[in-house]
A and B are shown apart, each in its own frame.
Chain A
Amino acid sequence: MAKYLLLKHYRGAPAAVNDVPMDQWTPQEVDAHMKFMSDFATELVGSGEFVDGQALSPEGTFVRYDGPGRPPVTDGPFAETKDLIAGWMVIDVDSYDRALELAAELSSAPGAGGEPIHEWLEIRPFLSAPATVTE
């Protein structure tokens, strides 16, 4: 059993096939997309594979320690960075192949014209706990 992070990017991933920004969709298309995402998560709970899912605001700021007794230094919002995470889903599955299968299904979410976005999702395995038997 292994946990994987499925990452959705606002920016930084290769271009999707159906690459129309969401703000140019019709409200019905947006609804259909939202419903797909929520049904997908519900199905994963049902199959016993769901761990977590969150969407992130595109606004973000870099923060840095600036020495004792001094306020944190901030930088941003980082409009210039090329990579921007939109959200994630964490799944707990039996195999890497199953993780690929689920990510591909998620990437088929409908976008403009009700057609699948074919969006690129990033899959990242979790670092797990060490096994007891190693020799």
Chain B
Amino acid sequence: MDALQLRELTPAVIGVLVRRGVDFVCAEDAVQEALIQASLTWSVGMPEDPKSWMVTVAWRKFLDAHRAESSRRDREERVHAEPPPGPTETADDTLQLLFLCAHPSLTPNSAVALTLRAVGGLTTWQIAQAYLVPEATMAQRISRAKRTVSGVRFDEPGDLPTVRRVLYLIFNEGYTGDVDLAAEAIRLCRQMVRVASQRTHDAEPRTHDTESDGLLALMLLHHARRPARIGSDGSLVPLALQDRSLWDTSLITEGVDILQRALARDRLGEFQAQAAIAALHADAQRVEDTDWVQIVGWYDELLALTSSPVVELNRAVAVGEADGPAAGLAALAFVDADIPRRAAVSAYLHEKAGDLDVAARLYAEAARSATNLDERNHLIKQAARTGTLRQDGNDTSTINP
């Protein structure tokens, strides 16, 4: 069993302790202690049944903490529960735990941190590293989050859209340090999809959760491009310039399969629509093969679902590809001026329309308002390139948004 398999047990073991009546905060602490003990002793000898080992050790950790606490409170009294006899409980409480950790009462930062620790089984130090904050800060963020949800009943119905948003945030963070947040988000999303679909066999039938499938497909399709996203110099390679032979075809196949099954259920949501766009990009062997007309169609669907200005902006790019730069610029006219990346899109469309003066000025403007370093460097280079072209009067052969 490796570290990842060990972490897989985390939500199940927390679930067992909570079902035995331990409150969430203590259960989570006890399981973290058990994880640390496992990492020390399992390298020497693996237990036969890792889950029962974890449950037993976490239970003991809880009792130790409980005894220390109660002896502080009242040295005379020695009341503590013993574990119920019988085999380890098998109910999978991962979904309940996700509902708790991504509870709507938590801020996004707190929900992300708590989910990574209590469901993902990561240590506070690892999470702090991944988000580039001191460990003490992350520890406080997690314990505050635990206090916030300590009054939430473990079996109350949860909010799947909030869980999906939290997993999407983790996936989209982009920064890859010691912990691969994108891979972690995919792992958690797989767990969510698995346990959410098991629920459909309950006495009370639920509608199949197509949006969670859509989110998983979206993550897989984007993760498939990762080997091509970063150039040899460490800089970000835009979609149009990526070496598509580096894309992970097995992830693409899996993503497309999941998406098609979700779409067949005819309950469209924004993650499915976004995944459909990613699937169309994945389907193009060369950038010239991209089916922009279909992509525009999916942006229209997405816009009907979300009416987000960012979607409107991306739609303008797709329209520019499908119907030419003039149509793209016309679509762009409806996008608010203060939307990030609007100037970059406008620059690209003006360049395609042959208006190099405006393009160079807009690329420079876009670089000044970029929110990340890769994007800024890319836009500065675009400004320099169009500026040079303008002077030379050369044609534009290697452009991209």
Contact = CB atoms under 8 A, between A and B. Distances in A.
A125 interface: yes
A93 to B, nearest CB: 7
B134 A50 contact: yes
Interface residues of A, number: 23
> Which residue among B137, B169, B236, B376 has the maximum number of chain A CB atoms within 10 Å of its CB?
B137
B274 A1 contact: no
B213 to A, nearest CB: 17
A132 B140 contact: no
A4 to B, nearest CB: 12
A128 B340 CA distance: 13
B172 A133 contact: yes
B125 interface: no
Nearest to B144: A48
B144 A47 contact: yes
Contacts of A92: 109, 131-133, 137
> Which residue among B112, B169, B172 has the maximum number of chain A CB atoms within 10 Å of its CB?
B172
B374 A1 contact: no
Contacts of A130: 174, 236, 372, 374-375
B134 A51 contact: yes
A48 B109 contact: yes
B140 A47 contact: yes
Interface string A90-131: 001110000000000000000000000000000001011111
Contacts of A44: 137
Nearest to B225: A132
Interface in B105-135: 107-110, 112-113, 131-134
A23 interface: no
Nearest to A50: B137
Nearest to B236: A130
Given A127-B373, A132-B182, A49 B137 contact: yes
Contact of B222 (A1, A45, A127, A133): A133
A127 B172 contact: no
A132 B224 CA distance: 11
B140 A94 contact: no
Interface string B372-401: 111110000000000000000000000000
A25 to B, nearest CB: 31
B56 to A, nearest CB: 32
A132 to B, nearest CB: 5
Interface in A34-57: 44-52
B109 A128 contact: no
B175 interface: yes
Contacts of B371: 125, 127-128
Interface of B: 107-110, 112-113, 131-134, 136-138, 140-142, 144, 169, 171-175, 182, 218, 222-223, 236, 239, 274, 277-278, 281, 314, 317, 370-376
Given A50-B136, A135-B317, 17 more contacts: A1-B108, A45-B136, A45-B140, A46-B140, A48-B110, A49-B137, A51-B133, A52-B134, A92-B131, A94-B107, A125-B371, A127-B373, A128-B174, A131-B173, A132-B173, A132-B223, A135-B239
